[in-house]
Amino acid sequence: MTRKILDLASFTVSGLAVRTRNSDEFNPATAKIGTMWAQFFSQQYPEKIPGQIAPARMLGVYSGYESDASGAFDVTAGMAVETASPELATIEIQAGRYLAFECEGVMPAAVIQGWAQVWTYFQTNSQHQRRFATDFEDYLSPQKVVIYIGIE
Residues in CB range of 118: below 8 A, 6 or more apart = 101, 147, 149
pLDDT, position 34: 94
The CATH number given to whatever domain includes residue 68 is 3.20.80.10
Low-confidence ranges of the chain (pLDDT < 50): none
For the segment 64-84, what is each residue's pLDDT rounded down to a tens digit?
999 988 899 999 999 999 998
Against a cut of 0.85, is the pTM above it?
Answer: yes
Cβ distance 147 to 122 under 8 Å?
Answer: no
Q: Domain tally for the chain?
A: 1
Domain boundaries, position 100: 2-150
